[in-house]
Each structure stands twice: as structure tokens, then as C-alpha cells.
Amino acid sequence: MAAPSVSAPVHISTSGRMAAVQHMARMQRLLFEVEREFVRTATTLIYRAGEPELKYLLCQHVWESAGHARFLRERGREMSGFGSGESVRESIRRLFNEAVMPSDVSVALAGFYRVIKPALLASYRHYLEATHHLADWPSRRLVEEFINDETRHTEEITPYLATIHASYWTDHLSAIVDSLGGLLGERPAIPLAAGSAWEHEKRAYTHPPTCNRGPYPTCSSAFSYDPDETPIVRSWLVDPKTDARVIRLMVYVWLMMELDAVDYLATIFYDTPEASFDLHHDMARHLWDESRHSQFGYRQLPKLGVDLMTLEHSLDLYNILVQMPPHERYAMMTMEFEAGSFPTKATVMDRVRELNDFEADTLLAFDRNDEQNHVRYGHHWLPQIMALCGETRPVDEFVKATQARFAELAKVHGGRTPHSLAPERRLTGNKVLQLALSR
């Protein structure tokens, strides 16, 4: 008879006893959800932005944000009240679904970096003030590091925001953050004005049919068998008679063109909102690796005399893959393009070693190592992405069917980007040959 009156107070007293921990764990959970939504949605800026340096920087920020989310989840799970799942609450998801909506990428960039990132930094600062520095020492050290990262992100992006005027949009996003009382609900919530409209409720976000390369010239493909057409001549790459200096220049062009992998991989995050966090974490790493590979070429080519304004960017892979659903994009990338690149890359690496160019050997070795990881990611994650997209065929059968579908789509959506530059102004195989042998 006494049981009910005893058990109820015991329950309340248990939660009361742990209230200080639970209070901080709830904040960590919110921070985790915000960081993982940033990864899912800020990736939509990457293929819409034209400047390669900005794409590279966004890939780096996305990767660091994935790291923040991972450490928050790890520490959060040590604390009572973090929760065992990793889903994102609706109020946070709506904010990020809204943030991707501007059709002008610079407006979207301003929303992420003038509103959401500063709100996140304020939230980390609030956490640090609210927690006990000795009792919650393991979290404190993490949060201090994240504050340093967020401060640096703000500084790194500043040059790209300088000329953007988007106050109508940043006011709109700020009002949404205010309506939550800040990302942690750390201040009084200000209700949204009556009649304020959400863009993402009016129309669906879609990836653009082609990726943006800003001021750079474009083409369908950088690879062909014609030395008067493209900078990479397939037969020369594997011909033992080709001078190793020519191979080195061609492989740097190849690496730089991995910017297409950056752009099409970046489309998959937004399309898989129910993916496990670990999948998005590994894809964020994959994305950052590809951006580093592209930088290998982008930074080395000018040192070898290449004017980057004469080098056309190839758009075919993005243009074809964006027509396919996300699991097919991921399958083509990991099971076809990456898995299939090793034999040629091995031949190329052996040739480049003749030059005793330590930096080239190092870059190619790290590229190969990263690519091995990417194929491993593919084997690990493809079944999960297939399941998310409702694909039930065995993996092998699905991959074969996807390769065939890609070939069909390539007939329609491939080869549609004409050369921006006339042959005499464009970097071609024959120009690569002249340039390589003249130095």
C-alpha cells in the first residue's frame, strides 16, 4: 500500500540527483544535432560555389564539423541524458532545411556564416560559461577546442563574405534562431512574426543540373585519345615511351579534376537525411580527401608553368551523376571510378618516380592511400545507402545495373559541355608535351 507513494519520490529524486549532468548532456545533444545538420546541408554550398578555394575551404569546415559532432556524441554518451539515438529534432532540421533554400549561393553562404555559425559559436561559449570547469572537465576541453575552430572558420570565410549583401535573408534566418531562443534555447524565445513564410515549405530544394566553376573554362572531359583536344591523353599515360615529365603534368591535371568528385559527392549528404551519423562522418572525410587531392593539382600545376585559366574543368561526371539517385551516385563513385583507377595510377606512380621528385611521389602516395580507404568506405556503406533508398537487390547485381544505367544516361547528359576555349588557347596534350619538355 505504501509502494506508490514511495516509488514516485524515488524516481523524482533520482533525476533530481543527476539534474546537473542531464542539463549539460541536453545541451551537448543539441550541439551534436546542429553540427551534424551543418554537415548535411552546408555541403550544398560546395557544388554551387564557383571558386575552387572556397570549395576547398567548405570541405575543410564540413570535415571539422563532422569531427565536432563525433566528439560530442562520444562525450555525450558518457553522460546521463544525452539519449542513445542520433536523430535530429524537427526544430533544428527545419532551420537547416530553410538555410539551403536561396537560389543565389552567396546569399545561402551568408546565411550559414553570418547567422548559423555565429549562433553555434555563441552556444559553445554559453556551454563553457554554464558548466562546472572541474566537474565537466572532459567536455570543457572539447568545447574550448571547438570555440577555437569556430573562431578560425569565421576568419577563414570572411574574405568570401565581403561583397555579399543579403540582409533580407540573414534577418529571416536570425528570426528563426531567435524563435528557438538560440540554438540551445539559452535565451528567451521570440516568436516568429505572424505570417512569416518558410521557403522550404513553398518549394523543394534541388541540386543544380551542372556544378559551378566560377571564372574557369569548362568542357565535358579532360580525358581523350586526341592530343589536340584534351590535356590528358589516355594512350600517353601508359605508354613507356612517354617522357616522365609529361606524365607528371598529366597526373596533376587528373588530380585537379578530382574537383568533380568533390562536387558530386557533396550532393549525397542532403539527399540522405536519415543516414546514420557515421555514414555522413566517413563521407565528410571522403569529401575532404578529394578536395585535398584536387588541391595537389591546383597548387602544383602553376609551379610547373601551367596557366590555370587555360585548363578547362570537366563537368561530365557531375552532370550525369546528378541525374541518378544518391545510392547510384555513391556506387559509381566508389565501385567504378575509384576501384577502377588503381592499375593506371600504379603505372603512373612508377613513371613519376623516375624524376626523383620527392613532393610528387609523396602526393601520389597519399592519394593512393586515401583512395584505398575510399573503396573500403564504399564496401562498408553502399549496403546502408542502398537500404536507405529502398534498394533490395544484392550489391553486385545493383552495381552492374547501375553501371549500365550510367552508360545510358551518359548518352543523354554526357558530352554536352562544349570547350570554352579554342584549341590554340586551351591546354591540350600537345601543349602539355611542349611545356613539360621545355623545363
Q: Which residues of this protein are in contact with Fe ion, per CB under 5 A? A: 258, 290, 293, 338, 371, 374
Amino acid sitting at position 42:
A
Helices 90-99 and 19-42: crossing angle, nearest 10°? 30
Q: Residue 312 gets which letter from DSSP?
A: P
Cβ proximity to Fe ion, 281 vs 293, nearer residue? 293
- Cα 318 to Cα 30, 210, 222: the distances in Å are 34, 7, 13
Q: Taking a C-beta distance cutoff of 8 angstroms, is the pair 62, 42 a contact?
A: yes
Q: How far is the CB of 298 from Fe ion (least distance, A)?
A: 13
Cβ proximity to Fe ion, 30 vs 62, nearer residue? 62
Cβ proximity to Fe ion, 117 vs 248, nearer residue? 248
Cβ proximity to Fe ion, 37 vs 258, nearer residue? 258
- In angstroms, the CA 270 to CA 280 distance is 10
Cβ proximity to Fe ion, 35 vs 371, nearer residue? 371
Q: Taking a C-beta distance cutoff of 8 angstroms, is the pair 27, 82 a contact?
A: no
Q: Taking a C-beta distance cutoff of 8 angstroms, is the pair 251, 16 a contact?
A: no
Q: How far is the CB of 296 from Fe ion (least distance, A)?
A: 9
Q: How far is the CB of 341 from Fe ion (least distance, A)?
A: 8
Which of 335, 310, 307 minimizes the C-alpha distance to 399?
A: 335
As to burial, measured by CB atoms within 10 angstroms (0-12 exposed, 13-18 middle, 19+ buried), residue 351 is buried
Q: How far is the CB of 63 from Fe ion (least distance, A)?
A: 14
Which of 226, 303, 301, 317 minimizes the C-alpha distance to 256?
A: 301
Q: How far is the CB of 286 from Fe ion (least distance, A)?
A: 6
Which residue has 529524486 as its cell numbers? 13
Cβ proximity to Fe ion, 160 vs 288, nearer residue? 288
